[in-house]
Protein backbone atom coordinates (compact mmCIF):
# COMPACT_ATOMS: atom_id res chain seq x y z
CA UNK A 1 0.00 0.00 0.00
CA UNK A 2 2.74 2.38 0.97
CA UNK A 3 4.65 1.85 -2.26
CA UNK A 4 1.51 2.33 -4.28
CA UNK A 5 0.84 5.63 -2.55
CA UNK A 6 4.42 6.78 -3.17
CA UNK A 7 4.19 5.89 -6.85
CA UNK A 8 0.90 7.70 -7.15
CA UNK A 9 2.47 10.82 -5.66
CA UNK A 10 5.38 10.57 -8.08
CA UNK A 11 3.06 10.33 -11.04
CA UNK A 12 1.09 13.32 -9.86
CA UNK A 13 4.30 15.32 -9.43
CA UNK A 14 5.13 14.62 -13.06
CA UNK A 15 1.69 15.85 -14.03
CA UNK A 16 2.32 19.06 -12.07
CA UNK A 17 5.62 19.61 -13.89
CA UNK A 18 3.84 19.06 -17.18
CA UNK A 19 1.27 21.64 -16.19
CA UNK A 20 4.03 24.18 -15.61
CA UNK A 21 5.31 23.74 -19.15
CA UNK A 22 1.85 23.92 -20.66
CA UNK A 23 1.06 27.03 -18.66
CA UNK A 24 4.22 28.75 -19.84
CA UNK A 25 3.12 28.17 -23.42
CA UNK A 26 -0.33 29.49 -22.68
CA UNK A 27 1.13 32.81 -21.53
CA UNK A 28 2.33 33.43 -25.07
CA UNK A 29 -1.34 33.80 -25.99
CA UNK A 30 -3.70 36.26 -24.27
CA UNK A 31 -3.98 35.23 -20.64
CA UNK A 32 -7.35 34.00 -19.50
CA UNK A 33 -6.71 33.18 -15.86
CA UNK A 34 -9.98 32.60 -14.07
CA UNK A 35 -10.17 32.54 -10.29
CA UNK A 36 -11.27 29.22 -8.76
CA UNK A 37 -12.21 27.54 -12.03
CA UNK A 38 -10.36 24.32 -11.24
CA UNK A 39 -7.52 25.03 -13.66
CA UNK A 40 -4.19 26.36 -12.43
CA UNK A 41 -3.58 29.25 -14.82
CA UNK A 42 -0.46 31.41 -14.93
CA UNK A 43 -0.51 34.05 -12.15
CA UNK A 44 -2.50 31.73 -9.90
CA UNK A 45 -1.62 29.98 -6.66
CA UNK A 46 -2.99 26.59 -5.74
CA UNK A 47 -3.57 24.99 -2.38
CA UNK A 48 -3.73 21.20 -2.41
CA UNK A 49 -5.43 18.85 -0.01
CA UNK A 50 -2.54 16.39 -0.02
CA UNK A 51 1.23 16.69 -0.11
CA UNK A 52 3.19 16.67 -3.39
CA UNK A 53 0.46 18.69 -5.13
CA UNK A 54 -1.84 15.69 -4.88
CA UNK A 55 -5.50 15.42 -4.12
CA UNK A 56 -8.10 18.06 -4.84
CA UNK A 57 -6.97 21.68 -5.15
CA UNK A 58 -8.33 25.16 -5.62
CA UNK A 59 -6.69 27.76 -7.88
CA UNK A 60 -6.52 31.30 -6.52
CA UNK A 61 -5.95 34.33 -8.74
CA UNK A 62 -6.60 36.82 -5.96
CA UNK A 63 -5.87 37.29 -2.28
CA UNK A 64 -8.03 35.31 0.13
CA UNK A 65 -8.37 36.75 3.61
CA UNK A 66 -10.68 33.93 4.58
CA UNK A 67 -10.12 30.37 3.38
CA UNK A 68 -12.88 29.13 5.67
CA UNK A 69 -15.45 29.85 2.93
CA UNK A 70 -13.47 28.11 0.18
CA UNK A 71 -13.55 24.44 -0.67
CA UNK A 72 -11.26 22.15 -2.66
CA UNK A 73 -12.93 22.03 -6.06
CA UNK A 74 -11.06 19.73 -8.45
CA UNK A 75 -11.51 15.97 -8.70
CA UNK A 76 -9.50 14.02 -6.16
CA UNK A 77 -9.19 13.25 -2.49
CA UNK A 78 -10.52 16.06 -0.34
CA UNK A 79 -12.88 17.53 -2.93
CA UNK A 80 -15.59 19.55 -1.22
CA UNK A 81 -13.70 19.96 2.03
CA UNK A 82 -12.94 23.39 3.48
CA UNK A 83 -9.54 24.75 2.40
CA UNK A 84 -8.87 26.51 5.72
CA UNK A 85 -6.39 24.55 7.87
CA UNK A 86 -6.55 21.72 5.34
CA UNK A 87 -3.85 22.26 2.68
CA UNK A 88 -0.67 20.19 2.70
CA UNK A 89 1.02 21.46 -0.46
CA UNK A 90 1.05 24.41 -2.84
CA UNK A 91 1.97 25.50 -6.35
CA UNK A 92 2.88 29.13 -6.95
CA UNK A 93 2.30 29.46 -10.71
CA UNK A 94 2.84 33.21 -10.53
CA UNK A 95 5.82 35.46 -11.24
CA UNK A 96 5.60 37.07 -7.80
CA UNK A 97 5.99 35.80 -4.25
CA UNK A 98 2.82 34.62 -2.52
CA UNK A 99 2.50 34.93 1.24
CA UNK A 100 0.63 32.49 3.42
CA UNK A 101 -0.57 32.97 6.97
CA UNK A 102 -1.71 30.58 9.64
CA UNK A 103 -4.44 33.02 10.64
CA UNK A 104 -7.25 34.64 8.66
CA UNK A 105 -6.68 38.23 7.47
CA UNK A 106 -2.87 37.76 7.46
CA UNK A 107 -2.84 36.88 11.13
CA UNK A 108 -0.65 34.31 12.81
CA UNK A 109 2.64 33.17 11.31
CA UNK A 110 3.73 34.41 7.88
CA UNK A 111 5.38 32.21 5.29
CA UNK A 112 6.25 32.93 1.68
CA UNK A 113 6.48 30.96 -1.53
CA UNK A 114 8.85 32.31 -4.23
CA UNK A 115 7.60 32.77 -7.78
CA UNK A 116 7.11 29.56 -9.76
CA UNK A 117 7.84 27.26 -6.85
CA UNK A 118 5.88 24.33 -5.56
CA UNK A 119 6.27 22.02 -2.60
CA UNK A 120 4.87 20.72 0.65
CA UNK A 121 4.06 23.01 3.53
CA UNK A 122 6.53 22.63 6.37
CA UNK A 123 5.61 21.81 9.94
CA UNK A 124 3.78 24.80 11.33
CA UNK A 125 2.05 25.51 8.03
CA UNK A 126 0.75 22.16 6.86
CA UNK A 127 -2.98 21.98 7.55
CA UNK A 128 -2.76 25.42 9.18
CA UNK A 129 -2.85 28.00 6.36
CA UNK A 130 -5.88 30.30 6.72
CA UNK A 131 -5.18 33.23 4.34
CA UNK A 132 -3.04 33.91 1.24
CA UNK A 133 -1.80 37.08 -0.51
CA UNK A 134 0.19 37.79 -3.63
CA UNK A 135 1.88 40.68 -1.82
CA UNK A 136 3.15 40.97 1.72
CA UNK A 137 -0.04 41.90 3.55
CA UNK A 138 1.77 43.66 6.38
Of 7 and 82, which has the nearer Cβ to Ca ion? 82
Kindly determine how many residues on this chain lie close enough to bind Ca ion according to the rule CB under 5 A: 13
Question: Footprint of Ca ion on residues 24-53 (CB under 5 A)?
Answer: 34, 37, 39, 41
- State in angstroms the smallest separation of the CB of 36 from Ca ion: 7
**Site for Ca ion contains 102 (CB under 5 A):** yes
**Site for Ca ion contains 69 (CB under 5 A):** yes
SS3 sequence, the chain? CHHHHHHHHHHHHHHHHHHHHHHHHHCCCCCCCCCCCCCCCCCEEEEECCCCCCCCEEEECCCECCCCCCECCCCCCCCCCECCCCCCEEEEECCCCEEEECCCCCCCCEEEECCCEEEECCCCCCCCCCEEECCCCC
Binding test (CB under 5 A) with Ca ion, winner from 53, 128, 131, 134: 128
**Site for Ca ion contains 110 (CB under 5 A):** no
- State in angstroms the smallest separation of the CB of 98 from Ca ion: 14
Residues binding Ca ion (CB under 5 A): 34, 37, 39, 41, 59, 64, 66, 69-70, 85, 102, 128, 130
Amino acid sequence: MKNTAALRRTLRTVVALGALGAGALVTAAPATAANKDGHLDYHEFSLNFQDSQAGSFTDFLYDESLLSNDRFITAGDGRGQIVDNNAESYFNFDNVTWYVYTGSYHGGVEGWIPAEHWGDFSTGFTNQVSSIYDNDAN
